[in-house]
Chain A
């Protein structure tokens, strides 16, 4: 395990802007070669955290270590990190190649070697032959590639990217997501990506830290984050999750949950990533969550693989390949969303239809009611 030492390690980092507590006891280990994302809503402190690693922001307490070296007092221009700025920060008075070679000015390479390195970096990001263009005559996607090449040509230990794709249109964004992943595998450099787009984070990252209000709420790989979120707000931020009120109690060595509209079922400790919500031995108030795709509407003649519950269709949203049904279980006010793949020959149900819903106790996640 000691061989697997983290490349970057943040230990109990705190930062204030005046009275505002912008980073709260951040603890984070990022390994060499990881594609790591910082995900969270606007204003939660992602940029602040990234700039703290880059050396643009001071912090009050704690330590930022890169390759086991404490970075306190090391200015941004001396850190083994490079940044791709949200605005790309392409120098408008320089050509593309001059932009890419900017950071090589002080290196001991010969002039031709520098140019070759810059050309190679341009080729790597798919801009071969663009070197002599004026920087202000580039499209958004091209500027982004120049910014990438400019940082990568210095072979940093860590590349920091602050919402690099948010200025691009949807199609371009999806294309760049794939290219970034490929590029990262190719160069093997640790990437830390800031994004507020959960889909982007899920697609691209090896691991994701979800942040709220200056705190890291959960740090895991995408699948665990999606399937086992440790709190309601993480669950809510990543994908769609239905919530129903429930009570939990312990009988012998087993835990039993009584869920509004669905009835009683046994749950395991693994289904409670935030801990089993037992306020005392007699039981406790809880919330259960389940993803829309873990529920199925049963058509005539179909039977449930696990459990089933009656419901009424409240709302139908048709998406072409999918249909979203909002259904109401008996005795529950709040509708629950179910996503169904549209299979040829199967009718889309109308509002008001009485249906049977199949659900599986193993797909539930149980949260503390307040978390």
Chain B
């Protein structure tokens, strides 16, 4: 076990190594991304403030991520409730299909959506990115919400019903508060996925790029690379923060309902 532990620690370092490099170069005054480091600077972060195109992309991304997260979580609630409470004909097939985007290469989702949209004579834009992101975020939302619903003792809802509540008020007074941590967690995860997603946005974004699409275009200009590092640092820190909060909520939910089933997937 000891040598295994050493291996595990090395593995974690390997996993995190690229991410650790980000702040190193984001705060390094050299315009070339290489060792040795020169001196400390926050110049690249201030440079970000001047890239007005980037601000547009950021706003666009935020808009898309919030909308996709809300849509994916709403769709996730329906599906998660259906599978954790009821059994219905074709359940396995239907759920398998809904969860398919988890393994389907994103480029397939992207080009097939693109074809349909163009074929139907529409123009791509933020809405089509939202449509694609909702599709790929929904399985993640379902995975989180399903364990939240499964952890909920069904006799709690029966008890509320027995005490005179209607199905609707039972949902509002009992179900919703108890799965709320799961819902928040699903919202945050979906938001994070949408904020970071590149390929679908690349194909479907139209004239207004999202932040990752804009970032991708920055990569072509060596002059801008330190700023990319700065932007990357901010994005990674934000992602980690959101994911940590999401995990916190997921665990609080699990603790409340009394069983922790572990990780997100």
Interface residues of A (CB under 8 A from B): 54, 56, 75-78, 81-83, 85-87, 89, 91-93, 102-103, 105-106, 136, 150-151, 154
Q: Is the CB of B159 within 8 A of A92?
A: no
Query: In the complex, A12 Cα to B193 Cα: how many Å?
Result: 58
Shortest beta-carbon distance from A192 to chain B in Å: 14
Shortest beta-carbon distance from B234 to chain A in Å: 36
B263 at the A/B interface (Cβ < 8 Å)? Answer: no
Most buried by A among B156, B159, B173: B159
B92 at the A/B interface (Cβ < 8 Å)? Answer: no
Query: In the complex, A86 Cα to B127 Cα: how many Å?
Result: 49
Query: In the complex, A150 Cα to B158 Cα: how many Å?
Result: 14
Partner of A83, one of B162, B174, B177: B162
Interface residues of B (CB under 8 A from A): 153, 155-156, 158-166, 173-174, 177-178, 256-258
Shortest beta-carbon distance from B99 to chain A in Å: 28
Q: Is the CB of A82 within 8 A of B162?
A: yes
Partner of A154, one of B160, B161, B163, B173: B163
Q: Is the CB of B257 within 8 A of A76?
A: no
Which chain B residues lie closer than 8 Å to A85 at the CB level? 155, 158-159
Across the interface, name the chain B residue whose C-beta is closest to A75.
B161
Query: In the complex, A92 Cα to B160 Cα: how many Å?
Result: 13
Q: Is the CB of B165 within 8 A of A92?
A: no
B contact face: mostly helix, strand, loop, or mixed: helix
Q: Is the CB of B178 within 8 A of A82?
A: no
Partner of A76, one of B153, B161, B177, B256: B161
Starting from the known contacts A56-B162, A77-B161, 14 additional A-B residue pairs (CB-CB under 8 Å) come to A76-B161, A77-B163, A77-B164, A82-B163, A83-B158, A85-B155, A87-B155, A89-B156, A89-B158, A92-B258, A102-B160, A103-B163, A105-B173, A106-B164
Q: Is the CB of A92 within 8 A of B256?
A: yes
Query: In the complex, A76 Cα to B163 Cα: how many Å?
Result: 8
Q: Is the CB of A86 within 8 A of B166?
A: no
Partner of B166, one of A77, A102, A154: A77
Which chain A residues lie closer than 8 Å to B164 at the CB level? 77-78, 103, 105-106, 154
Q: Is the CB of B256 within 8 A of A93?
A: yes
Partner of A89, one of B155, B173, B177, B257: B155
Q: Is the CB of A136 within 8 A of B162?
A: no
Query: In the complex, A85 Cα to B155 Cα: how many Å?
Result: 7
Q: Is the CB of B256 within 8 A of A136?
A: yes
Q: Is the CB of A93 within 8 A of B163?
A: no
Q: Is the CB of A76 within 8 A of B166?
A: no
Q: Is the CB of B153 within 8 A of A87?
A: yes
Shortest beta-carbon distance from A53 to chain B in Å: 11
Q: Which 10 A-B pairs have the closest CB atoms?
A: A103-B163, A89-B159, A89-B155, A85-B155, A93-B177, A83-B162, A89-B156, A77-B164, A77-B161, A76-B161
